[in-house]
Amino acid sequence: HSTTGASNSAYYVTTPIYYVNDRPHLGHAYTTVAGDVLTRWHRQRGEKVWYLTGTDEHGQKILRTAEANGVTPQEWCDKLVEEAWKPLWQHLGIANDDFIRTTQPRHTARVQEFVQDLHDKGEIYKGGYSGPYCVGCEEYKLPNELLPGATDDEKLCPIHKKPVEWLEEENYFFRLSAYGPKLLEFYAANPDFIAPASARNEVLRFVEQGLQDLSISRSTFNWGVPLPWDEKHVLYVWVDALQNYITAAGYGADPERFAELWPASVHLVGKDILRFHAVIWPAMLMAAGLPLPKRVVANGWLMVGGEKMSKSNLTGIAPQDLTSHFGVDAYRYYFLRAIPFGTDGSFSWEDFGARYTSELANDFGNLASRVAAMVGKYFEGSLPAATAAGDAEQAVADGLVTAVRVADRKIGEDLDFAGGIAAIFEFIKQVNGYLTEQEPWKVAKDESAEGQARLATILYTAAEALRATAVLLNPVMPTAAQKLWDSLGAEAGLGSLADQTIAAVADWGRLPVGSTVTKGDILFPRLEEKPTA
């Protein structure tokens, strides 16, 4: 069963393919974790989902890094992919279905066919271009967007704050300028194509100014995909890179798979690369006669000291420094919960520590361990039946219905991760409030049949609420959710956590009476002192 439309279509999510000139940092992990949560949420709906990430390995930036390190570019890429990028995604529990590398023949061969096709259709012509170029962005810049440098002659890239270089080349051009009106028509007909609204407006303003044709080849170096009709040129790295989304999906190689996956449901990107995805990529697909992706969603920037966090201003914090302190689950949770998706945000140890303690350890972790402890103490770990339910219990069940509805819309549709997670934690707060009001530890002292029936009802209600919480938080914090599932003894009656659907999660009373509840691992242990280094 699928809610994505045609029965053969999968929910296909992509991340940018990252440059492997250096190791991954918090910014890359931010986009990839967001994509993973989105992916897992749709899986939890029972949909067919495909999650793609990978690496961008051609271009001048990679070539220069390899040269500076005295190895071939291929050796450099192989090393970074295997030693840094793949291990980080594994460490963070990223459940990607494929990992595309742009140096793989399954990519380069298809890319050559794609551009040959555009060439055959007259979409590509030979011309000359000169202009300021930023190697960091791998992009020609417009003179009016540059910042002043140290001398009169020096101009800086507005993103990298590094000097641009003057490039003058004879190369091939894609007739991008012809697509301005068609793109504007497309944006108007598909108001949800670009999100958030700020990103959409930026793209509209940019395209309304008129587009220039795009230089799509380089002849001054050879680390790239050779143009099939003129092998002295390699394809511009961005044109090569964007096509990963279709080459990985089986374009030109596996028509059945391609029909299932393409067009992508969501391209997740940082706002720095919005134009490539919302202007150049759709124009090239139009030129090739292929369907356009359904959505391009831009995340904001993680900032350090008021600047976009980048390889050069990291202040030395790697994702692993944070996971070793807070754990992987809390890491996945924190950035999505603390920063509204689409806006810029800063990381601080203090804020992370505060949320960890109040939201994860106290509100969520303590609730789970208190409930398990009481079922253990009063009912020998066998979940009792709720035979005396009333308005208070109904209110908890109603709260769950709301939480599921809101979270499903916000996470699954709007990519408002902070809002969706907040809705789930509202429910957790409600359950805590319910226990505070019902005072099961006092009710336990009433040994009458009514007293024991109330105690059983309260504990069933709390455990059943936790059952739902485990499912709802599984996409965000899979390890903690699994521990909770285990501690509720839910698998025996309900099957695996992965098999629980969002549609059924609010059906009250699913956790079977008699489930074996045990006090498992503490979900979020007290933090050690913050590392000083």
CB of 176 to ligand ME8, least distance (A): 16
Q: Which is it for strands 139-140 and 124-134: parallel, antiparallel or unpaired?
A: antiparallel
Is 137 within any annotated ligand binding site?
yes
Query: Residue 330: which of 363, 302, 298 has the closest Cα?
Result: 363
Output the residue with the shortest Cβ distance to ligand ME8.
27
Q: Is 232 exposed, middle or buried (0-12, 13-18, 19+ CB in 10 A)?
A: exposed
Quote the tokens at residue 305.
Answer: 């000291």
- Using alpha carbons, list the distances in angstroms from residue 107 to 208, 242, 254, 461: 33, 11, 13, 53
Choose between 27 and 489: whose C-beta lies nearer to ligand ME8. 27
| DSSP sequence for 217-283 | EE-S---SPEETTEEEEEE-HHHHHHTHHHHTTTTTT-HHHHHHHPSPSEEEEEGGGHHIIIIIHHH
Specify the 3-state DSSP secondary structure of 167.
strand
CB of 417 to ligand ME8, least distance (A): 14
Angstrom distance (rounded) from CA 480 to CA 329: 7
Is 134 within any annotated ligand binding site?
yes
Active site residues: 25, 28, 134, 137, 157, 160, 308, 311
CB of 338 to ligand ME8, least distance (A): 13
CB of 432 to ligand ME8, least distance (A): 33
- Scan for tokens 């949770």, then name that residue: 333
Is 91 within any annotated ligand binding site?
no
Choose between 190 and 312: whose C-beta lies nearer to ligand ME8. 312
Quote the tokens at residue 96.
Answer: 């990607």
Specify the 3-state DSSP secondary structure of 467.
helix
CB of 485 to ligand ME8, least distance (A): 31
Choose between 215 and 243: whose C-beta lies nearer to ligand ME8. 243
CB of 343 to ligand ME8, least distance (A): 11
Choose between 52 and 465: whose C-beta lies nearer to ligand ME8. 52
Query: Residue 159: which of 57, 23, 303 has the closest Cα?
Result: 303
Choose between 273 and 396: whose C-beta lies nearer to ligand ME8. 273
Choose between 304 and 400: whose C-beta lies nearer to ligand ME8. 304
Residues counted in the chain = 533
Choose between 19 and 89: whose C-beta lies nearer to ligand ME8. 19
Contacting residues toward ligand ME8, per CB under 6 A: 16-19, 27-28, 30-31, 56, 241-242, 244, 269-270, 272-273, 299, 301-302, 308-309
C-alpha 193, offset from chain centre: 17
CB of 25 to ligand ME8, least distance (A): 7
Angstrom distance (rounded) from CA 52 to CA 241: 13
Asked whether the beta carbons of 504 and 451 are under 8 A apart, the reply is no
Strands (E), 32-164: 49-56, 98-101, 124-134, 139-140, 147-148, 155-156
Cα–Cα–Cα angle for 446, 452, 455, nearest 5°? 95
Q: Which residues are annotated as a binding site for Zn(2+)?
A: 134, 137, 157, 160
Q: Which residues are annotated as a binding site?
A: 134, 137, 157, 160
